[in-house]
Amino acid sequence: MPSPLRNGDTPLPAGAGGPPHRHQGRHFLSSVSEHKIRRLIALILLLRLAAFCFSLSAAIFMSTNSSRSPASPSWLHFHPFRFVFAANGIVAAYSLFEMGASIWEILKGATLLPESLQLWFDFSHDQVFAYILLSAEAAGLTEAQGKACAGAAESGGFCLQSYISVGLGFAGFAFLALSTLLSAYRVASYIITGSPFHF
């Protein structure tokens, strides 16, 4: 069922439909695209920054969740909380790397790794890390609602801090999931048109 409207025939400015005007149309398109590409990379950078901030603070909140008093429970005793810490730490490190890659792309106009490798790397890691982070947060939330806070009126601070860490992690996941959408679009666009952005 391929529709008769194909890529070369995407809406051009009026009168640029026929082959003689094609170059003019493409020039117009490419200057518009360049502007859009910069905006899209800036948007990706912003999402990465948000994911980095949230997951880093989730990891910090979780890892400092034991110093209150020697008697209070430590996050290290709860496997799901270790998972939350590890997943958030990995996502924070990955987001930092990706922010560097985006800034490089904005400054140099080319990807850090070879283009196809970079696009596949971004998409696959986004997708996998989003799944890992989400399952860590779901496990952490279940643990916080179950064992970790059961009959622990004395460890109210511990309980609250776990919830905050899990909540921050969920926010980090949301931004990671959004950047997964963009990197999926980029890789699909690269497969289909040979260019990472097509409008």
79 binds a second copy (CB under 8 A): yes
Interacting span for a second copy (CB under 8 A) from 51-59, 67-75, 159-167, 183-191: 183-191
30 binds a second copy (CB under 8 A): yes
Q: Tell me which residue has tokens 């696959």.
A: 124
Taking CB under 8 A as the criterion, the residue among 113, 145, 167, 171 binding a second copy is 145
Interacting span for a second copy (CB under 8 A) from 43-51, 55-63, 91-99, 140-148: 140-148
Is residue 102 within 8 A of residue 48, CB to CB? The reply is yes
Interacting span for a second copy (CB under 8 A) from 44-52, 69-77, 95-103, 185-193: 185-193
107 binds a second copy (CB under 8 A): no
182 binds a second copy (CB under 8 A): no
25 binds a second copy (CB under 8 A): no
Binding site for a second copy (CB under 8 A): 1-3, 5-10, 19, 29-30, 33, 37, 79-80, 109-110, 131, 134-139, 141-143, 145-147, 150, 177, 184-185, 188-189, 191-198
